[in-house]
Amino acid sequence: MGKKKPVVVVTRKLPEVVETRMRELFETRLNESDRPYTQAELVEAMRTADVVVPTVTDRIDGAVLSQAGPNLKLIANFGNGVDNIDVLTANNRGINVTNTPGVLTEDTADMTMALMLAVPRRLSAGIQALANNEWSGWSPTWMLGHRIWGKRLGIIGMGRIGQAVARRAKAFGMSIHYHNRRRVPTDVEEALEATYWESLDQMLARMDVVSVHCPHTPGTFHLLSARRLKLLKKDAYIVNTARGEVIDENALIRLLENNELAGAGLDVFEHEPAVNPKLAQLENVVLLPHMGSATIEGRIEMGEKVIINIKTFMDGHRPPDRVLPSML
């Protein structure tokens, strides 16, 4: 008699190739509707599963974890960030947490560069002008934007994604600056020709473009506060493909409305999936629906990492992408 397969509950629809492989390996319960779980459904999954595979849309806090069943030993997050999971409480209850790091780096960096080009060059406004039949032909003074060549880029968070953005931006002729909890190795700095700023405030005041790449933690909530946002130059741009909670969104809107900031490119929002309607009314912003990592290749690789984490854990070994409270 073969070994009993672990019960794995997947809270959102994943790429078909990933779901097929998961059903081959585990007793997998899929979400065919792709509708986000209610809290009651999430609690039920926690009670009955050996492994839960959540995504960023699932809030697994202490209240949910307190109702976990005795068989639940692993939360294999389908995502890089784990701010949707109370990792400390899970760890204290003997529940392992894993994520999918590294997979989304290049995709997110690509989207960051797309926004970094789209906002100063007014791509959204140009598309809208064509859609509204407002274009009467080329003009030397119409739809003027700003070049990014030669501009200073300030990166907040110089991890994998921050460094990938720096490589791209350097190729576009930008001067690379960064603020990070720890200074990156000298060889990385030299390769990127990057300047380290210990003081975030001092860096912000001198940048032409600021790009956010730090995780959302209690320490980074509203890291870009109203006070810090006011340090930015009036002709500066801000791009965020990390987490919406890092920026005080209301303060950002006020600056954009009053032309105290040149523009913003946002792929994430403070109260997702809700988007402040005031943002949608602004002409100096480009808004995307949290699609920075949305490539077929990336999603499949994420699924493969989830499968490896589950299989390694169920085989009695430490999963390669385990997240500990001390890492946050």
Is it the case that residue 2 has pLDDT exceeding 70?
A: no
19: left (phi over 0), alpha (psi -120 to 50) or beta: alpha
Check whether the bond before 36 is cis (ω within 30° of 0).
no
**Percent of the chain at pLDDT above 70?**
99
CATH 3.30.365.10 fits 7-101+295-327, yes or no: no
Cα separation, 246 vs 272, in Å, equals: 13
* Active-site annotation, residues: 243, 272, 290
Torsion of CA 138, 144, 148, 149, to 10 degrees: 60
pLDDT (tens digit, 9 = 90+) per residue, 254-307?
999 999 999 999 999 999 999 999 999 999 999 999 999 999 999 999 999 999
Pinpoint the residues of the chain covered by CATH 3.40.50.720. Answer: 7-101+295-327, 105-287
Select 105-287's CATH number: 3.40.50.720, 1.10.600.10, 3.30.1130.10, 3.10.129.10: 3.40.50.720
Is it the case that residue 81 has pLDDT exceeding 90?
A: no
Cα separation, 127 vs 267, in Å, equals: 18
pLDDT (tens digit, 9 = 90+) per residue, 228-262?
999 999 999 999 999 999 999 999 999 999 999 99
Give the residue among 256, 234, 252 at the shortest CA–CA distance from 244: 252
